[in-house]
Structure 1
């Protein structure tokens, strides 16, 4: 019997507009992600580099773009957060121990909070026993250590813990740690239909 759920954030609760972000970067002159920028993002999501260092890395590839235009393009990936998902989460919080575990950065979190407003963001965060951001932990999914850390920290039983994420590699890593998983498919499935999966 599941008594704990660890949720991902992007494309589970908040919709991600990946194509919109790519389009905005194309308009600034960036054809698409490259190895250097992907490595930079990895470092930023681990909290190993500052916001300014991250932005300076982008400016190397977009020397004509100003910092605000780059930040706007970067943040354009953050989409809407349907109210029904928050309401569903609030119901779950009365029955299960809930945690949030997301690979993210400080820029995106600020953007999310500004978009939804203080009241909505507060209601969302209050659903969780603890919110875990990769940039504060110094780790990222799909590293197994990030799951083991939470299991140890909160004395969780892996077989009674469900992990919900839209990325297969993250779910595979969670399974290696003994967690139950739901690899949610954005655009096909919605977190509010969790009970239809017959997992809980």
Structure 2
């Protein structure tokens, strides 16, 4: 039976508009999300670039954009965090599961998220988890197998007693290959609050 649940963050708890950042950056002069931009994004999410280095990298692609405009465009991906998801997570955290958060994200998005929701909401959210892992802090990102092994090894997790929930199939595929049960959640059609409606062997 499941005793551990690892959650993704974006489109599991906080809603995202995944096209918004690109749309906003194009308005500032970016031609396309090309290989150079994708490399910047991935390196930033792995913590290999500082916020300043990341912004400088973007300014090379859109030199006429201001730093504030770039930051605002980058953060436009972040939408709302429905209260019922926090309430569900709080109930779940009292049921003796080990809960973890594993998110591909960067320091700009997390700073914006924490500012948007405020200190009380953030504290209540984070305290539901045994540990929160952001890719930019641990130096690796999903679907790199190192990201999964980081949590598994650090907490001596038994993979066949672990459920991994993510909205990207490439990530749930890797988790499944490691022996975890997985839920490839479909944003807009499924919600994390429906967890107990699924056919997982939860205790």
- Which residue number in structure 2 is paired with residue 163 of structure 1? 164
Instruction: Provide the C-alpha distance between the structure 1 equivalents of 2:126 and 2:149, rounded to a whole number of angstroms.
Output: 22
Structural mapping, 1:87-166, within 5 Å: 87-95=87-95, 96-166=97-167
- Contact 1:100 1:131 (C-alpha < 8 Å) held by counterparts: yes
Worse-superposed segment, 29-38 or 57-66: 29-38
1:35-58 CA deviation, whole Å, 9 max, x = no partner?
101001111111111111100111
C-alpha distance in 1, partners of 2:33/2:198? 35
Distance in 2 (CA, whole Å) between partners of 1:145 and 1:22 is 28
CA RMSD across the alignment: 0.9
Partners of 1:143 and 1:24 lie apart in 2 by: 29
Instruction: Find the aligned partners of 1:41 and 1:107 in 2 and give their Cα distance.
Output: 11
Deviations 1:110-165 (A, max 9, x none): 00001111100110000000000111111110011211221121111111100000
Q: Is the 8 A contact 1:158 1:178 kept in 2?
A: yes
Contact 1:144/1:176, CA 8 A, preserved across alignment: no
2-structure distance, mates of 1:10, 1:166: 8
Deviation (angstroms), 1:19: 2.5
Deviates more, 1:171-180 or 1:119-128: 171-180
TM-score (norm 1): 0.97
Which deviates the most, 21-30 or 40-49? Answer: 21-30
Q: State the partner residue of 2:66.
A: 66
Q: Secondary structure at the match of 1:128?
A: coil
Runs of 4+ in structure 1 off by over 6 angstroms are none
* Distance in 1, Cα, partners of 2:150 & 2:51: 26
Distance 2:31 2:194 in 1: 37
The 3-state SS of whatever aligns with 1:55 is helix
Residue of structure 2 in register with 1:198 after alignment = 199
TM-score (ref. length: structure 2): 0.96
Point out where structure 1 has 5 or more consecutive residues left out of the alignment: none
Q: Within 2, Cα distance between the matches of 1:31 and 1:7?
A: 34
Moved more, 120-129 or 27-36: 27-36
**Number of residues of Structure 1 aligned to a counterpart in Structure 2:** 200
